[in-house]
Amino acid sequence: MKVSPFATVLWLGIALGGCSAPKKPPPPPSAAEPDVAPTAESGTDWSQFDSTSVRNPNDGSLLGGVPLPLEAPGLRFNPIRDPAARYGTVEVVRALVDAAAQVALELGGLPVTINDLSLKSGGPIPRHRSHQSGRDVDVLFYQLGPDGKPVDSVGAFFDPSGQGVDFRELADPSDDVRLALDLHRTWAFVRALIESEHAQLQNIYLAEHLRSLLLRHARAVEAPAETVQRFEALTCQPSYPHDDHFHFRFFCTADDIAEGCRDSEPVYPWQQRRLSEAGTRARPLAKKRKQASSRVVTHEEARQSAGPMDAEVGRWLDRREEWIKKPHPGRPYCP
């Protein structure tokens, strides 16, 4: 797979992956999209949507994919991403819309920025190994600018103190903007997803040091003990550090399991009980079908392909080496 310098910079997690970078206009929505996407503002009748997640997150499809609205109260789909990649199951889209609206109502500020979900019919999708069955979604963190006020989120990565930089033009240090992770709104959004009755979270892929920051914040604001315990279980840093965005994965619903939806491990005790009450159980992943695979770009290759960059960018990339290796914390669901 050919990877452009711009794409390798996105992979590194530098702010060119966000919304402040020079960008081409987004491609027009597909003509096959519904005229009206769901939105809390219009009092959506969610019963009008009927979706099914089929097979595995990394080898599956999506029937009746529901489009995330381009804009809704407290939410926007990232304007530099392809709107064809904003489809999910009705349960997942509803959970995102409701969580964003709840944060906006309680805390105000700017909308959360949602990146890719799945294609309308699922299946292989550029830039991702999973995101194939409508149950995966990438979400940028809420962010604060140098004055401590909310700013539109960009794909900047954050260090163990919750600080980051929007490196707009990599070779020009004069346009760098200091950022801080907005722990208050970011935690409120995560809490709303964990507590959602519409879709059950299975995984929160997140850098270990950002997990620690959010966990300390949750305890400081005296979040409900059960919510905090579930956050502890759900969060794990995979091979890609996820220090510039969340990757949320949701469980199959009981109805979708009956249609062939498959879950990866872990399946937590509370999810097992929920499914048992519904008269079913999680099904293990189906044998993966042969698909074309993309070569993984190394960090060294990405840095070389990114082109000229100012010294501060280089220093941040060097610092990132401190936390980029997958940790093994030895927790029950994150060995």
Whether residue 333 lies inside any domain: the answer is: no
The residue segments making up the domain with residue 154 are: 5-20+38-288+297-320
At 203, give phi and psi (nearest 5°): -140, 145
Whether residue 57 lies inside any domain: the answer is: yes
- With beta carbons less than 8 A apart as the criterion, state whether 7 and 1 touch: no
Whether residue 150 lies inside any domain: the answer is: yes
**What's the distance, CA 256 to chain centroid?**
22
The span from the CA of 183 to the CA of 200, in Å, is: 22
Other beta carbons within 10 angstroms of residue 39's beta carbon come to: 17
Whether residue 134 lies inside any domain: the answer is: yes
Number of domains in the chain: 1
Whether residue 33 lies inside any domain: the answer is: no
Q: Which helix (H) or strand (E) holds 87?
A: strand 87-88
Whether residue 25 lies inside any domain: the answer is: no
What pLDDT score does 39 carry? 59
Query: Which pTM was predicted?
Result: 0.89
- With beta carbons less than 8 A apart as the criterion, state whether 278 and 159 touch: no
Q: In the structure encoding, which two tokens stand for residue 239, read together? A: 């091979």
Helix (DSSP H) and strand (DSSP E) numbers for the chain = 9, 15
Q: What is the CATH number of the domain that holds 230?
A: 3.30.1380.10
What pLDDT score does 299 carry? 73
Whether residue 28 lies inside any domain: the answer is: no
Whether residue 31 lies inside any domain: the answer is: no
pLDDT tens track of the chain, all 335 residues? 333 333 344 444 433 333 333 333 344 444 334 445 775 555 788 989 999 999 999 999 999 999 999 999 999 999 999 999 999 999 999 999 999 999 999 999 999 999 999 999 999 999 898 999 999 999 999 999 999 999 999 999 999 999 999 999 999 999 999 999 999 999 999 999 999 999 999 999 999 999 999 999 999 999 999 999 999 999 999 988 999 999 999 999 999 999 999 999 999 999 999 999 999 999 999 998 887 665 667 777 878 888 899 999 999 999 999 999 999 999 999 98
